[in-house]
Amino acid sequence: MLNSFAANGRPNEVLTVFRDMLGIDFEPDGFTIVSVLTASAEIGALALGRRLHVYVVKVGLVDNSHVSNALIDLYAKCGSVSDARKIFDVMGLGRTVVSWTSLIVGLAANGFGKEALELFSVMEREKLVPTEITMVGVLYACSHCGLVDDGFKYFDRMKDDYSIVPRIEHLGCMVDLLGRAGRVEEAYNYIITMPLEPNAVVWRTLLGACAMHKKLELGKVAWARLVELDPGHSGDYVLLSNLYAAVGRWADVYVLRKTMVKNRVRKNPGHSLVELRNSVYEFVMGDRSHHESEQIYKMLADIAERLRQEGYIPRTSNVLADIEEEEKETALNYHSERLAIAFALLKSLPGIPIRIIKNLRMCGDCHVAIKLISKVYDREIIVRDRSRFHHFKGGTCSCKDYW
């Protein structure tokens, strides 16, 4: 039951079954623990993961390499890279290729791309052979650090040194690598000449790069392919709408939104989760459903004032709607991650890191604002958005403003 729920992306049911198992005094084994750790990682439940870690030590499963690998994955996916590294170091000779891969991918996803590449170099010196997944992590690290030349070098070595036949995931990483670096035309040429048939994810990656770099004509090409391959995907409509808005085509934005309504395409609403004292709180943009919303909005006002004193100017270009500038500033201030951070500042002790999970990509303005919040309030803030982690501390971010 645990594995079935885990394999079908239902982590909450995994945790429920595990609780029921403990309630009938049925002792879990290593396979059970791996499933539960994996579920905890998927929902970013760090506090629960730490309790499971204590349980693993208590029942003597700490030397089980599968469990240790799951712990590395858990801590990395919860944004606690230092804990993932500790598990990795303690494993010593028990480390497998999976252990190395888990940490390499975890470092890359958390914005520590150069550290991920350094670890890969150490892995090679240890004479370990990387897997297809290892190389996805390496290429991902290059993509999120803007290391285009290095990315192509590793891609060639993957084929030449390790005889790994590129899969669509590797090719997609190369498209992402070029697209993020602003080389959108090259990304398109790469797609139309790649040895495998590009899937919807690859074309979506190109559309995202077009939206980021305002490449309207190529964006329309990517959109046309997506309509054929994956019609009705809400994220594609959002990306195209963002592209139209970015180049000031508000009439096209309006028509596209009408088409979404006509075709019953529902946009996934943005939400942010924050875990405090064994409870998870959810916020959506402009949320006033929380019983302490009055205090939260007072805290937001205090944050806004202190950021202004630091010289913060809202980037209203990130509000992709045809509304007045003052309304845009208000909309930015009420994004779900800012509500979650305001609540965490109110309810947590000074110095305690704040961990946020957001289901969508963070906008550029929130990225700037949260960097300043981390400095003004002297807090480490870890945000896991749809594509990666951002570790904000002292006014800087681990992504170095490249994501």
Q: Tell me the per-residue pLDDT of 75-115, one tens digit each, with 9 for 90 and over.
A: 998 889 999 999 999 998 889 999 999 999 999 988 888 89
Write down the pLDDT at residue 330: 47
Taking residues 217-244, report their average pLDDT. Answer: 92
Write down the pLDDT at residue 341: 94
Predicted confidence (pLDDT) per residue in 311-337, tens digit: 887 655 444 444 333 334 445 678 889
Write down the pLDDT at residue 279: 75
Question: Is pLDDT of 391 > 80?
Answer: yes
Question: Is pLDDT of 287 > 80?
Answer: no
The mean of the pLDDT values for the chain is 87
Taking residues 392-401, report their average pLDDT. Answer: 87
Question: Is pLDDT of 118 > 50?
Answer: yes
Neighbouring residues of 72: CB distance < 8 A, sequence distance ≥ 6: 84, 87, 88, 99, 102, 103, 106
Write down the pLDDT at residue 315: 59
What does the alpha-carbon distance between residue 238 and residue 269 come to, in Å, rounded to a whole number? Answer: 11
C-alpha pair distances (Å), 36 with each of 16, 67, 134, 388 = 10, 10, 23, 22
Write down the pLDDT at residue 153: 96
**Exposed e or buried b per residue across 321-356, where buried means at least 16 C-beta atoms within 10 angstroms of its C-beta:** eeeeeeebbebbbbbbbbbbbbbbbebeeeeebbbb
What does the alpha-carbon distance between residue 384 and residue 399 come to, in Å, rounded to a whole number? Answer: 12
Taking residues 141-155, report their average pLDDT. Answer: 92
Q: Domain segments of the chain: what residues?
A: 196-268, 271-397
**Is the distance from CB of 221 to CB of 215 less than 8 angstroms?**
no
Question: Considering only CA atoms, which of 265, 204, 201 is closest in space to residue 239?
Answer: 204
